[in-house]
């Protein structure tokens, strides 16, 4: 899902602290690999962008000269991703993961790269493998729960997230706890458990009141549970934080329909369609949302293509409405 979290943090713990080398002249492949990985770890990936072509050339040669060095392959994959060369990045990621004897840090990024290349099932299988190999690493469990939600395996995600909440340390950061609650609340909503979804999402908001996506899903939960007033308030708060959230605009449109304001409903749907198309990359949820919006703005034929793409990405249904 688009609200996914905590992926890069695991890299530091898995690779350890890698100090950047101060070099004169051209670095060796090993030195360059450490520099690239360090820049990526520490949020300074912009520093490697100007030299991507030269770095790729050095690392490609290094991968041939030192074929068993996983960090060279991993750094090369990172550079390929910077060039948007997804196929080459995936090949190098797979090699790095295998050579590293299935290192968790490399595996996290490999799974993310698979998802970005619209291979969510392969990402899921890889995440399952890593959790089995490293059952005590919470970042891996969170990523598995995330991909579970991406391909609508909500029961498995709930099992993982509930266990994480039970084992969470008392000093867990409010932001981290609120994200877990947001994910769990979303799963409860998709399972049709409105009361539990609302309670969980409200708990997350009590920790982080400014989470626009939490407010959006809470508004959807209220709406589908039949509480129009609270739905309108939650969705308004979300849109006040970010007026371009496609799902908030869509459900605000539904809200307007239900209170008898079709003109404002159509405006919300159109805004949701315009903004939503900007997010169409690798999440089936986003394609499915545009399918729903298309039905509201007389674009049903176009919507069929979005629905088909969502299904190819293993996202095929909306969170249910409460049965009367």
Mean pLDDT by 10 residues, the chain (324 residues): 37 35 65 89 78 91 95 94 91 96 92 94 97 93 97 98 94 94 98 97 96 97 97 98 98 98 98 96 97 97 97 98 85
Question: In this structure, are residues 81 and 89 in contact, taking their beta carbons and an 8 Å threshold?
Answer: yes
Task: Work out the number of other CB atoms within 10 angstroms of the CB of residue 48.
Answer: 20
Q: What are the tens digits of pLDDT across the range 208-225? A: 999 999 999 999 999 999
pLDDT at 22: 35
pLDDT at 16: 36
At which residue do the structure tokens 């708060």 appear? 237
Question: In this structure, are residues 310 and 316 in contact, taking their beta carbons and an 8 Å threshold?
Answer: yes
User: Which sign, positive or negative, has the C-alpha torsion 99, 100, 103, 109?
Assistant: negative
Q: What are the tens digits of pLDDT across the range 96-112? A: 999 999 999 899 999 99
Radius of gyration, alpha carbons of the chain = 22
Q: What does the chain come to in residues?
A: 324
pLDDT at 68: 96
CA dist 223 and 230 (Å) reads 8
Could you tell me which of 213, 258, 252, 203 has the C-alpha nearest to residue 232?
252
Domains of the chain: 1-16+28-117 (1.25.40.10), 193-324 (1.25.40.10)
- DSSP letters spanning 146-209: HHHHHTT-HHHHHHHHHHHHHH--TT--HHHHHHHHHHHHHHHHHTT-HHHHHHHHHHHHHH-T
Residue 114: HSE in the Cβ half-sphere, 13 Å Cα cutoff? 21
CA dist 94 and 85 (Å) reads 14
pLDDT at 25: 60
H helix intervals, the chain: 9-15, 29-41, 52-65, 70-82, 86-99, 104-116, 120-133, 138-150, 154-167, 174-190, 194-207, 212-224, 228-241, 246-258, 262-276, 284-296, 300-312
CA dist 221 and 198 (Å) reads 6
Q: What are the tens digits of pLDDT across the range 13-25? A: 343 333 333 334 6
CA dist 51 and 155 (Å) reads 45
What pTM did the predictor assign?
0.87
């Amino acid at each position: 899902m688009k609200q996914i979290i905590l992926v890069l943090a695991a890299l530091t713990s898995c690779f350890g602290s890698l100090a950047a080398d101060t070099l004169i002249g051209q670095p060796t492949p090993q030195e360059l690999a450490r520099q690239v990985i360090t820049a990526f770890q520490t949020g300074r990936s912009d520093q490697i962008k100007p030299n991507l072509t030269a770095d790729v050339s050095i690392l490609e040669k290094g991968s041939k000269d030192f074929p068993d060095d996983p960090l060279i392959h991993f750094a090369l994959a990172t550079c390929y991703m910077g060039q948007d060369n997804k196929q080459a990045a995936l090949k190098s990621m797979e090699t790095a993961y295998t050579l590293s004897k299935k290192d968790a840090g490399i595996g996290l990024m490999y799974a993310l790269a698979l998802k970005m290349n619209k291979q969510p099932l392969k990402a899921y299988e890889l995440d399952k493998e890593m959790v089995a190999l490293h059952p005590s690493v919470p970042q891996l469990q969170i990523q598995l729960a995330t991909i579970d939600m991406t391909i609508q395996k909500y029961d498995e995600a709930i099992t993982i997230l509930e266990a994480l909440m039970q084992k969470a340390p008392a000093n867990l950061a409010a932001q981290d706890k609120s994200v877990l609650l947001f994910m769990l609340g979303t799963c409860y909503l998709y399972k049709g458990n409105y009361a539990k979804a609302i309670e969980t999402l409200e708990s997350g908001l009590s920790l982080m009141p400014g989470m626009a996506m939490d407010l959006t899903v809470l508004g959807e939960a209220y709406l589908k549970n039949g509480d129009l007033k609270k739905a309108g308030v939650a969705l308004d708060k979300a849109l006040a934080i970010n007026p371009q959230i496609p799902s908030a605009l869509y459900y605000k449109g539904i809200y307007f329909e239900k209170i008898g304001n079709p003109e404002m409903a159509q405006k919300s749907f159109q805004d949701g369609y315009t903004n939503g198309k900007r997010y169409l990359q690798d999440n089936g949820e986003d394609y499915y949302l545009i399918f729903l919006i298309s039905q509201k703005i007389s674009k049903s034929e176009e919507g069929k293509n979005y629905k088909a793409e969502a299904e190819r990405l293993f996202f095929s249904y909306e969170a249910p409405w409460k049965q009367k």
